């Protein structure tokens, strides 16, 4: 019942008007991000994105709902991953979706006024479908934004993890792993996995592990470090441990961890002198 070729053509003819009116009516003192930019290129890009939205949304009155969203999905993903929209607080973006929704209510009224033969039931049906599908667009946008932000977060975390356990190549198949800062269980697990990969990739036969930058570790982390030394031994990598603080040594003794097969040096300088 919501499909109507006349309304479809009317909205399509006014698609640019919808965009210009929307942009002019943005409450710039009470918004932020992409909506308050003074950069002509960004403004032009924003208007194009809005106009593309209209070209997609107008198809609601020309096509079935399932077909309508198949073509709309790519626009939603593009906006959700657009850097300017990412840097705009999401509640402002949702506010503009609502403002656009209200525009459609206004233009439906205009169309109905120009065509007095249209029944109130038809107008109500158009209002209902606009409300329903705009809510669905907002929901899909929020979901796409969340998925994109999670993918970026995972990529950033992977980079941070890699940088937080750097294996530095030295001469003669030797390497250095300087551990700095707090080490929790998650980071300890990452250090174990990354160190084994890097030693194998770089063909390291002797790894110097320096703990002088680590103030305190808990029992679980101490176990992980012990596992790292054993795992390195299993893949043929000799280890030298340096910079063990008294607190760490005490934890190792309490846990009954034995480092008898690992060379121990007081500090990194001493460890590197014997290489």
Q: Yes or no: say if 210 and 166 are a contact pair by the CB < 8 Å rule.
A: no
Distance CA 89, CA 34 (A): 10
Of 142, 162, 182, the last residue of a domain is: 162
Same-domain pairing of 150 and 45: yes
Dihedral sign computed on CA atoms, order 124, 126, 132, 134: negative
Q: Give the strands of the sheet with 206-213, arranged side by side.
A: 168-169, 174-180, 206-213, 238-242, 263-265
Same-domain pairing of 97 and 47: yes
pLDDT at 126 (0 to 100): 94
Burial of residue 258 (CB within 10 Å: 0-12, 13-18, 19+) is: exposed
Dihedral sign computed on CA atoms, order 131, 68, 48, 124: negative
Q: Looking at residue 210, which CATH number applies to its domain?
A: 3.30.750.24
Same-domain pairing of 267 and 174: yes
Same-domain pairing of 94 and 197: no
pLDDT at 117 (0 to 100): 93
Same-domain pairing of 228 and 116: no
What is the count of structural domains for the chain?
2
Q: Yes or no: say if 177 and 166 are a contact pair by the CB < 8 Å rule.
A: yes
pLDDT at 16 (0 to 100): 97
pLDDT at 138 (0 to 100): 95
Same-domain pairing of 128 and 184: no
Q: Looking at residue 95, which CATH number applies to its domain?
A: 1.10.490.10
Same-domain pairing of 117 and 194: no
pLDDT at 24 (0 to 100): 96
Burial of residue 121 (CB within 10 Å: 0-12, 13-18, 19+) is: exposed
Which are the contacts of 131, defined by CB distance < 8 A and separation ≥ 6? Answer: 101
Same-domain pairing of 32 and 101: yes
Question: What pLDDT digit, counting tens, does each position of 34-53 carry?
Answer: 999 999 999 999 999 999 99
Question: What pLDDT digit, counting tens, does each position of 95-116 carry?
Answer: 999 999 999 999 999 999 999 9
Tens-digit pLDDT string for the chain (275 aa)? 578 899 999 999 999 999 999 999 999 999 999 999 999 999 999 999 999 999 999 999 988 777 778 888 899 999 999 999 999 999 999 999 999 999 999 999 999 999 999 999 999 999 999 999 999 999 999 999 999 999 988 888 777 666 666 888 898 899 999 988 777 787 888 888 889 988 998 899 999 999 888 877 777 777 888 888 889 989 999 999 888 888 777 777 777 777 777 788 888 888 787 65
Same-domain pairing of 113 and 29: yes
Secondary structure (3-state) at 172: coil
Of 162, 187, 215, the last residue of a domain is: 162
pLDDT at 90 (0 to 100): 94
Distance CA 10, CA 110 (A): 10
Same-domain pairing of 85 and 153: yes
Same-domain pairing of 72 and 121: yes
pLDDT at 171 (0 to 100): 87
Same-domain pairing of 40 and 126: yes
Please list the alpha-helical segments (H only) found in the chain. 5-13, 15-24, 40-57, 65-80, 83-86, 90-114, 120-164, 185-201, 219-234, 246-255, 268-273
pLDDT at 162 (0 to 100): 65
Which are the contacts of 179, defined by CB distance < 8 A and separation ≥ 6? Answer: 165, 191, 209, 210, 211, 213, 214
How does DSSP classify residue 141?
H
Q: Domain range holding 190? A: 168-273
pTM exceeding 0.85: no
Of 162, 193, 208, the last residue of a domain is: 162
Distance CA 201, CA 196 (A): 9
């Amino acid at each position: 019942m919501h499909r109507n070729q006349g309304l479809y053509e009317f909205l399509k003819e006014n698609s640019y008007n919808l965009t210009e009116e929307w942009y002019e009516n943005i409450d710039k003192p009470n918004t932020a991000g992409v909506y308050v930019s003074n950069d002509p290129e960004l403004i032009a890009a924003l208007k194009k994105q809005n106009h593309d939205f209209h070209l997609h949304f107008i198809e609601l009155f020309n096509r079935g709902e399932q077909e309508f969203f198949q073509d709309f999905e790519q626009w939603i993903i593009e906006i959700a991953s657009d850097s300017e929209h990412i840097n705009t607080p999401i509640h402002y973006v949702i506010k503009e979706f609502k403002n656009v929704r209200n525009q459609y209510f206004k233009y439906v009224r205009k169309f109905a006024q120009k065509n007095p033969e249209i029944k109130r039931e038809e107008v109500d049906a158009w209002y209902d479908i606009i409300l329903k599908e705009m809510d669905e667009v907002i929901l899909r946008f929020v979901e796409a934004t969340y998925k994109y932000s999670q993918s970026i977060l995972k990529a950033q975390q992977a980079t941070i993890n890699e940088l937080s356990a750097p294996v530095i190549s030295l001469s003669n198949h030797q390497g250095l792993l300087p551990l700095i800062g707090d080490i929790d269980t998650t980071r300890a697990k990452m250090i174990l996995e990354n160190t084994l990969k890097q030693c194998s990739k770089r063909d390291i036969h002797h790894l110097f592990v320096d703990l002088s930058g680590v103030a305190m570790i808990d029992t679980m982390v101490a176990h992980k470090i012990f596992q790292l030394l054993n795992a390195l031994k299993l893949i043929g990598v000799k280890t030298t441990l340096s910079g063990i603080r008294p607190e760490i040594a005490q934890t190792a003794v309490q846990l009954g961890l034995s480092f008898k097969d690992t060379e121990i040096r007081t500090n990194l300088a001493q460890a590197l002198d014997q290489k």
